[in-house]
Structure 1
């Protein structure tokens, strides 16, 4: 008998039992609070969503959260996080304003159907270190708007930001008479075991972050919404306003040090405007590396095939310094550029970088550019989005018809537009579904509708049975009976 093995097994079993007990206690408290909350009426649900939103939007609290996030995760920059926390939450409130999310929400007289919105219950919100306040608040506000309770599983690095956010939310709840147990989080230290157990015990999982967490969510046995990997490419055509395109790409590439999965990792430029577009990107602060410098950067960005934490979401200057490119760092670049011709594991710059590093491809024409993007997404990023800078709207629809993408973002700063913006009609979200291309079960921006059940009451209507020719007449005319 192996005594040590038996003791180890017992220790593991006891640890699992303790995790299960802690999570069960959180879920029980959430269920108790949620039962009364979901039937309290639309005004109460709206007040809860508004209270949570104001918890992060108030400037002093927002600044605290933004600075704490950068201090403890080392990712991004505080000013951009401050803007993201505010604008993404403001946009979400705009989207939710006037939406009915409880009780009867629609009556369809012609079909005799009445739709009733129902809460899903207790939501497990899995959130990343890249947006340790903005992503949780988006999920919390959506969930509360629909009568649910929420338990957040933050990343270990994002724990402090999430804890402070929930402290702010509870203070706002106290003002309006809401139960603090409607919004909770896993206790420290955050572990994979606790996150997995939370997914198992809750009623719905919404997972944003690493693909490991998304796969865990789908395998949890609980209904789940998870998002695919990002690796956005943008196409610049000969008809584009190059000055405008370069400024938007630069703004998107550098925002929050490219923490967003919606930041461009590649730009594919038509040959006819290649040199001019590179000049515009250079004017925006981009620095093109030569082959030797590219090799040095590759060594710094990846270690054993994995992105280096030392370069993720750091400034271009810091990354250049980490790569030993002191002459480049001395120029204080806004972003770095490398030329590439292939895609796949042998061409790591064709993948997602989560850093202000832009991979540049040269394409003979628009069709060739689309083929390059298709190749890139065959390696990584299928289903997410593609950017297009062009004056030909037909090209945008061609991409929508042929590429494996859920969104085509036209003449916009991609990372600001993909998750909804005030100058486009996409829902404000920090979680973008990638459809079956990205192994997801939805292709929209995650929004309040994913946090609802709909009950349908069916009343009898006048019977109408169609004749056979009404439904198959066209088929018979073309092909015969």
Structure 2
């Protein structure tokens, strides 16, 4: 029986994929935006036909979340994202100002290495593949080991459709043999121009060490402040729908509720009417003992499980109507696991006297374990909303909308993204909802609109006297040596002499 080293096989595969991507990149360089757009549309249409199959497959493989919500995410990315991208240009001339004689040219970064999560594997892979092709980049995926089969199936569908539409071979690919060593070889390859890590925290340090530009999209709990002027029923309904969506594993989902004391009682009753269960002290201990049994981090086997199952496994019972479990807390502490990110339908409920204290509480929550990702405020007071926008260390602030759907662009006009930049959490290079614009650089083109003598003469009007002229002359003669281009040096010297003569005549 022949023994095959899986790690070595994965590393070798990563190198081959990168070589193929390098060749594909050369071909892609000749593709115009319209040609790329046709490929994107064909890929999205193919993925949409398999959206349900992939959602079910994801749940079966990872045991995270529920297939119905994953199906909704898959359909959203396949249908809405191409529509959003349709009129946008990222390759070639992307804008032109004929009056100002300026132009911007979009240039693909090259080869992208993308790490996809186990929590949202299909929607993330489809989204990143579409924005990479839209922006003329080659992309190589490293699936999460827990979702490798599902991610591979999704990418096979996309690759087949892309090839049919004319995408060069190697421009879209993935690691079939998934190991940490193979993933590290992929992100550390010299040809990689950008690394995108979406919700794979165990690879963050390796991505940093690769020395590449690095985008990190974290999955963390978000604070939501219910201010006294808020529409309480609407706010509570939004929070409950968001926190329970896919059983709490979507990036940006609310975890911490900060309620104004004036409306805290009303809000609590509204939460209970909408399926929230406020736990007793003993039940809180039972639940957190189940979720975080040893070192304070969440047991991965309890990620994305429904509230009723969590309660049952923790040893207490809840009504069948319960969707979210709630723990009432007063303080934030590093030793309190409820202050840490939990990827399941659990909320933590705080009460503050006014918006100023609520503001401080939200900042404290965001600073705790660097949760600088997303913040939600429910309020009708524009001044309070603006103060929150000015003071909160977050990448995005959402107003009167569910965090999950607002951050994805479903209920807001933010870009429809599955990777939400987390630079405010101290990781990565951007806080954007990542779009094709993050996968290109912009070449700025400016036409000459004035002669050098015109500019020099204009500057000289601010100078006075022969003394300034003499200093300028001395500086020119002693500090500016002749370069290799004699014609340019001669032209500059003639211009300076003309300027000095003009200044002398003015005297």
What's the C-alpha RMSD, in Å, of the aligned pairs?
2.2
Equivalent-residue separation in structure 1 for 2:432 and 2:105 (angstroms)? 22
Q: TM-score, normalised by structure 1?
A: 0.89
Does 2:165 match 1:176?
yes
Equivalent-residue separation in structure 2 for 1:87 and 1:366 (angstroms)? 35
1:456-471 superposed matches below 5 A: 456-462=444-450, 464=455
Residue number in structure 2 paired with 1:432? 420
1:104 is paired with a residue whose SS is strand
Residue number in structure 1 paired with 2:217? 227
Q: TM-score, normalised by structure 2?
A: 0.85
Most deviating of 118-127 and 138-147: 118-127
1:6-405 superposed matches below 5 A: 18-58=9-49, 61-109=50-98, 112-188=101-177, 190-201=178-189, 202-228=192-218, 230-304=220-294, 305-325=296-316, 327-328=317-318, 330-405=319-394
Contact 1:49 1:141 in 2 (8 A): yes
Equivalent-residue separation in structure 1 for 2:461 and 2:434 (angstroms)? 42
| Unaligned residue ranges in structure 1 (runs of 5+) | 1-10, 471-481
Equivalent-residue separation in structure 2 for 1:249 and 1:213 (angstroms)? 30
Contact 1:254 1:356 in 2 (8 A): yes
Going from structure 1 to structure 2, the CA distance change for 1:275 and 1:467 (only over 3 Å counts) comes to farther
Deviations along 1:62-93, one digit per CA (max 9) or x if unpaired, are: 11100000000000100000001111333322
Going from structure 1 to structure 2, the CA distance change for 1:414 and 1:381 (only over 3 Å counts) comes to farther
Equivalent-residue separation in structure 2 for 1:331 and 1:229 (angstroms)? 28
Equivalent-residue separation in structure 2 for 1:237 and 1:105 (angstroms)? 42
Most deviating of 170-179 and 115-124: 170-179
1:424 is paired with a residue whose SS is coil
Equivalent-residue separation in structure 2 for 1:91 and 1:315 (angstroms)? 28
Most deviating of 272-281 and 88-97: 88-97
Cα deviation, residue 437, structure 1: 4.3
Contact 1:231 1:380 in 2 (8 A): no
Structure with max Cα Rg: 2
| Unaligned residue ranges in structure 2 (runs of 5+) | 463-507
Cα deviation, residue 214, structure 1: 2.8
1:440-455 superposed matches below 5 A: 440-455=428-443
Contact 2:116 2:200 in 1 (8 A): no
Equivalent-residue separation in structure 2 for 1:457 and 1:144 (angstroms)? 24
2:230 is paired with a residue whose SS is coil
1:205 is paired with a residue whose SS is strand
Going from structure 1 to structure 2, the CA distance change for 1:227 and 1:215 (only over 3 Å counts) comes to farther
Aligned residues: 453
Deviations along 1:359-398, one digit per CA (max 9) or x if unpaired, are: 0001111111111111111213432111111111221211
Contact 2:219 2:250 in 1 (8 A): no
Equivalent-residue separation in structure 1 for 2:441 and 2:17 (angstroms)? 23
